[in-house]
Amino acid sequence: MVPDGASTSDQQAWSDSSARAVLQLMVESVAEMVGFEVAALSVVIGDRLVTLAYTGPEEHREYVEESDPVSVIEPILSRAEAWGERLRFVTAEAIAGLEGRWVEVEQVPTDHADAWRPADGLLAVLTNDDGAVVGILSVDRPSDGRRPDTRQRRLLERYAAQAERALLTTYEREALVQQVAHAEAARRLVRSASMPAHASLAAVLRHTRQPLVEGFGAGGSWIQLLGQSGVGYARTGGGDRLELSGSLVDLAHDLAPTLWNEQRALVLTVGESPELPDEVHRELAALEVTHALAVPLGAGSECVGFLALSRFAGDPPWSAVECTAALEIGHDLGAALMTARALESERKLVRELQQVDDYRSQLIATLSHELRTPLTVIAGNLEMLGTLDLSPTADRYHAAMTRGTTRMARVVDDLLLLARVSNPQHPLERVPVDLRSVVRDVVALVESAARGQGLTLDVDLRDDIVVLGDPTELDRLLGNLVSNAVKYTLPGGRISIEAARRGNTVALLVEDDGLGISEVDQRGLFQAFFRTSNPDALREPGTGLGLAIVASVAERHGGRVDVRSRLGEGTAFTVTLPAAAPDDGQNAVEPGFTTPSSAATSTRVQIP
C-alpha cells in the first residue's frame, strides 16, 4: 500500500532537476537495497502531500500523480503500529473508513505467518527539528512476500534518516534562495533609487526607505549619518516619522565605527541584548520593537552612517543570510551617501566596489542553489553504501553517485577560478608565455576524446606568439574553448586551432563545424551559468561557467574574446591578447617542448 501524492502549482520550490534526480535515485536505492518492488517519497508542500519520486509498476504512476490533503496523515499515523523511530506499519483494518486514497499493489500469495497483504503499508515518517511532518517515505510489495525482518527495518530506518536530511536540506536551501532573492531585490532597488548623479543626502534617505522595509520584511527603518551632517531618518513601515531620543543617536555614533572596523552586523533582542543600556531597552520596548538588525554604512576605510531595521512580536528573528545581505547593503548605501558628496574619482571607486559586491552575492546564491542539496545527499548515500556488501545493481547506483560528486567538485573548482579571475583586487602575476606550448598541452588532453569521435584537428602555430600573463589561466582559457569544440562537434567533424601574431596582438582562433549558436543565445554566452536553449547542446553536461571564465581571463589579460557563429553551421571563437615585447619573450614559459627556430611552425594533426 503506497500513499499517493501529486505535482501541483505549489511545487515550484521543488522544480530543481538535480534535487529531484537525487531523491529519485534514493527511492530506487531503497527499493533495491531493502527488498521492495515499490517505493515512493511524498513531501508536504503547502497543504498537499506531493510525490516527488516513485519506483514501481507504471500502471500506478498516473494514479499517484493525484494529491491528498496533508490532513490525511495524522489519523493514519495515529492508527499505525510503531516499528522504530520513524517506521509505521498500517493494515487495511487500521485505515478502514479514513479519508484518502491508497494504491493497493498486488502481492504474490504466500502461506507464511508474516505474509504481506495487498492492503498493508510500511511508512517512514520524516520530520523537522520541531517534530512537524515534512514527508513520507513508503514501501510496498516485498520481494519475498513477507513483512520485513529486523535487519530490513534497520536498513530502512537508515535510508529514512538520509531522506529526512535531504528534504530538510532542500527546504533550508529554498528558504535561503528566497531570502537572498529578497535581499538582492532590496539591493537593486536601493541602488536604483540612490545613485542619480548629484543626488542630495535627503533624496537618498527618502528613496531607500521603502526598498529596505519591503525587501527585508521590516517594521521600520532608521538611517543615522555620522560626522558634520548628523542627519537622522527614522520611519515606520508605513512611512510615518519616528522621533528618537538622544541616547539612541549617541548609541548609533558609538556602535557604527566599531561595526565598520569589524565588518559585522549586530542582532539585538529587546530586553536581552547586553550591548544595549537599560534606557535604550525601555525606549525600544515603548516602540514595540522586539528584534533589531544594525549594520554600519560606509565605503573604503570611512564609516559614514548607521542603519537599523526593526521587527515586532510575532515576526521571525533575523537570519544569518539577512545579516550578510544587510551588511553588504551597508556598503551599497554607504557608497551612495558618499557619492552624493564625493568627487567624481570617488564615484568611480564606488561603482567598482559595488560590482565586486554584486558578483560575490551572485556566486554565494548560486553556490547554495547548485551544490548544497546534491552534495549533502550524494555524500550521505556514498558513506552509507560504502559500508555494505553491494550487489551489481547497487554498484551501479554507487557509481552514479560518485560521478555526481565528481561533477559537483568540478563546479566548485570552476566557481573558485571564476571568482579569482573576476576579482579586480586579485593581482595578475605576468610572465612571458609562449602560446604554442599552451596549444600543444590542450591538444594532448583532448586527443583521446577527439579520436573517439573521429574528429579532424587542424593545428596552425606561428612563431613569435608570446604574451605576458598567467600560464595556468591561459591554459584554462584555451582548454575551455577546445573542449567545447570537441563536445559540440558531430562525429566526423573538423576543428581548427590557430595562433598567430597580428601587429601588437596575438590572436587565438578555435573554429569548428559543429552545432553552432543562435543569435539569441550569443547575447548571454559569456554570462556565468548560461546554458544554451538548443536541445541538442543541452544533451551534453556542463555548468555554464566555461565561457564566463574565458571572457574573464581574456579581460584580465587586457584582451577580449569574440564569437562568430550560425546555428547548424559551426562556431569560431577568437581571443585577442596583447603581444609581449621582443625582449619580454626571450624566456617564455614553454614546459616540456622544444620548438625549431624557423620562421613559422604549422602542424596539421588528423585523428582518425
Host domain of residue 166? 2-171
Residues 211 and 122 in one domain: no
464 and 501 Cβ atoms separated by less than 8 Å: yes
Assigned domain for 137 exists: yes
33 secondary structure, DSSP code: H
Query: Distance between CA atoms of 504 and 193, rounded to whole angstroms?
Result: 44
235 and 241 Cβ atoms separated by less than 8 Å: yes
Among residues 531, 494, 503, 511, the alpha carbon closest in space to that of 575 is found at: 511
What pLDDT digit, counting tens, does each position of 441-490 carry?
Answer: 899 888 888 888 888 888 988 877 899 999 989 999 999 899 889 888 88
What is the per-residue pLDDT for 259? 92
Mean residue pLDDT across the chain: 77
Assigned domain for 182 exists: no
Residues 466 and 584 in one domain: yes
Assigned domain for 254 exists: yes
CATH number at residue 523: 3.30.565.10
Assigned domain for 537 exists: yes
Mean of pLDDT values over 160-180 = 72
Mean of pLDDT values over 512-533 = 81
pLDDT band at 599 (very low <50, low <70, confident <90, very high): very low
Residues 128 and 258 in one domain: no
Last residue of a domain, one of 342, 363, 392: 342
543 secondary structure, DSSP code: -
Assigned domain for 354 exists: no
Residues 50 and 97 in one domain: yes
- Which string of DSSP letters, residue by residue, matches 298-361? EETTEEEEEEEEEEETTSPPPPHHHHHHHHHHHHHHHHHHHHTTS-HHHHHHHHHHHHHHHHHH
Among residues 521, 524, 513, the alpha carbon closest in space to that of 570 is found at: 513
Residues 164 and 238 in one domain: no
What pLDDT digit, counting tens, does each position of 547-556 carry?
Answer: 888 998 998 8
| C-alpha cell recorded at residue 87 | 517506521
Count how many Cα atoms sit within 13 Å of the Cα of residue 42 in the half-sphere of its side chain.
28
Strands 494-502 and 456-462: parallel
What is the per-residue pLDDT for 575? 94
Residues 128 and 200 in one domain: no
Alpha helices in 195-277 (DSSP H): 201-216, 246-262
The yes-or-no verdict on residue 10 having pLDDT over 70 is no
**What is the number of structural domains in the chain?**
3
Assigned domain for 177 exists: no
Mean of pLDDT values over 322-329 = 85
Residues 450 and 596 in one domain: yes
378 and 29 Cβ atoms separated by less than 8 Å: no
What is the per-residue pLDDT for 585? 57
The yes-or-no verdict on residue 176 having pLDDT over 80 is no
The yes-or-no verdict on residue 601 having pLDDT over 80 is no
The yes-or-no verdict on residue 364 having pLDDT over 80 is no
Last residue of a domain, one of 294, 327, 342: 342
Residues 240 and 130 in one domain: no
Least confident of 5-9, 192-196, 499-503: 5-9
Last residue of a domain, one of 307, 342, 377: 342
Residues 454 and 601 in one domain: yes
What pLDDT digit, counting tens, does each position of 30-70 carry?
Answer: 888 888 888 888 888 777 888 888 888 888 777 766 777 88
CATH number at residue 136: 3.30.450.40
pLDDT band at 333 (very low <50, low <70, confident <90, very high): confident
Please count the other Cβ atoms lying within 10 Å of the Cβ belonging to residue 142: 24
What is the per-residue pLDDT for 591? 40
Assigned domain for 367 exists: no
Query: Distance between CA atoms of 239 and 408, rounded to whole angstroms?
Result: 46
529 and 484 Cβ atoms separated by less than 8 Å: no
Percent of the chain predicted with pLDDT > 90: 11
Least confident of 86-90, 133-137, 503-507, 590-594: 590-594
Residues 159 and 249 in one domain: no
Mean of pLDDT values over 241-266 = 88
The yes-or-no verdict on residue 178 having pLDDT over 70 is no
Among residues 44, 84, 67, the alpha carbon closest in space to that of 168 is found at: 44
Mean of pLDDT values over 578-586 = 72
Assigned domain for 309 exists: yes
Q: Residue written as cell 594532448?
A: 444
Least confident of 125-134, 386-395, 550-559: 386-395
What is the per-residue pLDDT for 560? 92
Residues 151 and 203 in one domain: no
557 and 476 Cβ atoms separated by less than 8 Å: no
- Which string of DSSP letters, residue by residue, matches 310-321? EEETTSPPPPHH
Please count the other Cβ atoms lying within 10 Å of the Cβ belonging to residue 176: 18
Residues 130 and 233 in one domain: no
| C-alpha cell recorded at residue 381 | 548515500
- The SS3 assignment for 171 reads helix
Burial grade of 145 (CB within 10 A; 0-12, 13-18, 19 or more): middle
